């Protein structure tokens, strides 16, 4: 995944409750960092509103994957790089790279895939406006 181009990044500082007895970030807490990155990415694009990460429609996570490359420790600043990898009919995938701010060394790489859902929690098409805004930001060729 390292060859991917990321146009957005945000930062977090590792806090004490995110570490284990060895002072290293507990693996499950990296998924919280992905959530911070995703919400900041969407907020940056004006796609969020209030407590809704995506204001135009609901979505659920259907897949989440991380590969760990190096440890992160208490008080270290981490950079979370985020991009939308693809948008399909009803799903879309965000790619992430987490790296040490000070050394630029990769800590973890992964993705989350989300499904757009209607009020009955059934898959629905990803709205055209969302697709268009992401495509423009990511520099994808227009579909029209």
Q: What is the domain partition of the chain in residue ranges?
A: 8-138
Identify the DSSP state of 135.
Answer: H
**pLDDT of the residue at 1:** 46
DSSP string, 98-116: EEETTT--EEEEEEEEEEE
**pLDDT of the residue at 122:** 97
**pLDDT of the residue at 144:** 53
**pLDDT of the residue at 143:** 64
CATH number of 8-138: 3.10.129.10
Q: Give Cβ neighbours of residue 43 (< 8 Å, ≥ 6 apart).
A: none
pLDDT digit string (tens) for the chain, length 144 residues? 446 799 999 999 999 999 999 999 999 999 999 999 999 999 999 999 988 899 999 999 999 999 999 999 999 999 999 999 999 999 999 999 999 999 999 999 999 999 999 999 999 999 999 999 999 999 998 765
């Amino acid at each position: 995944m390292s060859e991917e181009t990321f146009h957005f990044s945000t930062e977090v500082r590792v806090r004490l409750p995110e570490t284990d007895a060895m002072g290293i970030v507990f693996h499950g807490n990296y998924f919280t960092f992905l959530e911070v990155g995703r919400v900041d990415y969407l907020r940056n694009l004006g796609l969020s509103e209030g407590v809704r990460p995506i204001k135009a429609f609901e979505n659920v996570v259907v897949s989440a994957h991380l590969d760990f490359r190096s440890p992160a420790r208490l008080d270290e600043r981490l950079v979370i790089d985020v991009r939308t990898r693809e948008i399909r009919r009803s799903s879309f995938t965000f790619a992430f790279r987490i790296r040490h701010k000070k050394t630029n060394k990769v800590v973890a790489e992964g993705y989350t895939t989300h499904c757009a859902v209607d009020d009955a929690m059934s898959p629905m098409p990803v709205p055209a406006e969302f697709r268009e805004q992401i495509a423009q930001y990511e520099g994808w060729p227009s579909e029209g």
